[in-house]
Amino acid sequence: MAVRRRSLAPAEMGLRYGPVVLAAAVFALPIFWLLVTSLKRQSEYASSLLPSALEWANYALAVELANFVHFATNSLILSTTYAVLAVFVSALVGYGFARHRAPGHSKLFVLVIATWMVPNLVLFVPQFVLFARLGLTDTYWPWILWGLSGSPFAIFLFRQFFATFPRELDDAAEVDGAGPLRIFLQIYLPNAGPAIAASAIFMFLWVWGDWLYPALLLRQDNATLAVRMANAYVDPHGNPLQTVTMAGVVLYVLPLIVFFAFAQRYIVRGIVTTGIKG
């Protein structure tokens, strides 16, 4: 392939690279504009296309004005708690589905997939009523309960992943007197690295990025960064500060981008593992 690549005719090079470069430029342009705007002085927001000097002070202002650290901590606690619980429970349940049989096994697995299909809002509205009745609104309990019941997507992913493990491992461990829980903790879980990484990233991202549930379930002060970022930064007269807002958005998104740059291969592998191809 390397030899062929060097000998490509210019026309073929253009055909192969032209569309993909163009598409990448179009995709990246709004993000590029986010960065550019975040570095403009507010006074030149409307008047000049590019910043005359890089206004890093926007970032300091974005942190200060929004009480950024407080809300970022809330987001971090909530996302991590949910991700850890959901990944562990989903791995356990996925192991159960992959390695243990009982009457009702396949019907229950169909149910796991079916819950994936129910529209979010249909499920959330009665959950909201339930949480309100139980006095769990304004607390992080809903996320803990969601985490403790696992995620259909992650259960499916772990089931598919564990189904590829050789059964001899179980047999050997069983001969040594290990119970199912020990087999799970000492053999399956430590060897599930890619599935853990892929599902943890998605679970973390879901809470970090979600706006609807924290906006409806939490108070202004214990809500997540997503809720805080939905409001614009304004100056004392109530005028919007677009440049500072963009700096805040960059800071809000940055951890995810760094995270994903490192985890890209796990994500692809995770999707391949679920065997969506059918």
Question: Quick one: 137 or 191, whose CB is closer to other proteins?
Answer: 137
- Minimum CB separation of residue 267 from other proteins in Å reads 7
Shortest distance (Å) from residue 130 CB to other proteins = 5
- Identity of the residue, 99 or 191, whose beta carbon is nearer to other proteins in the bound complex: 99
CB of 108 to other proteins, least distance (A): 7
Exposed, middle or buried: residue 40 (CB in 10 Å: 0-12, 13-18, 19+)?
buried
- Give ∠ CA 240-245-250 in degrees, rounded to 5: 170
Which DSSP state fits 188? Answer: I
CA–CA gap between residue 210 and residue 120 (Å, rounded): 12
Closer by beta carbon to other proteins, 57 or else 125: 125
Cβ pair 158, 192 in contact under 8 A? yes
Whether 94 contacts 159, CB under 8 Å: yes
* Shortest distance in whole angstroms from residue 253 CB to other proteins: 5
Least Å from the CB of residue 28 to other proteins: 5
Question: Which is closer to other proteins, CB of 28 or CB of 60?
Answer: 28
d(CA 249, CA 174): 52
Burial track 97-118 (b if 16+ CB lie within 10 A, e otherwise) = bbbeeeeeeeeeeeebeeeeee
Nearest in space to 56 (alpha carbons), one of 68, 33, 40:
40
- Least separation in angstroms between residue 240's CB and other proteins is 5
Report in angstroms how near the CB of residue 56 gets to other proteins at its nearest.
19
SS3 234: strand
Which one, 28 or 57, has the nearer CB to other proteins? 28
- Decide: residue 141, CB within 10 A, 0-12 exposed, 13-18 middle, 19+ buried: middle
Residue 5 or 167 having the CB closest to other proteins: 5
- Which of 249, 263, 248 is closest to 196 using CA atoms? 263
117 vs 175, beta carbon nearer other proteins: 117
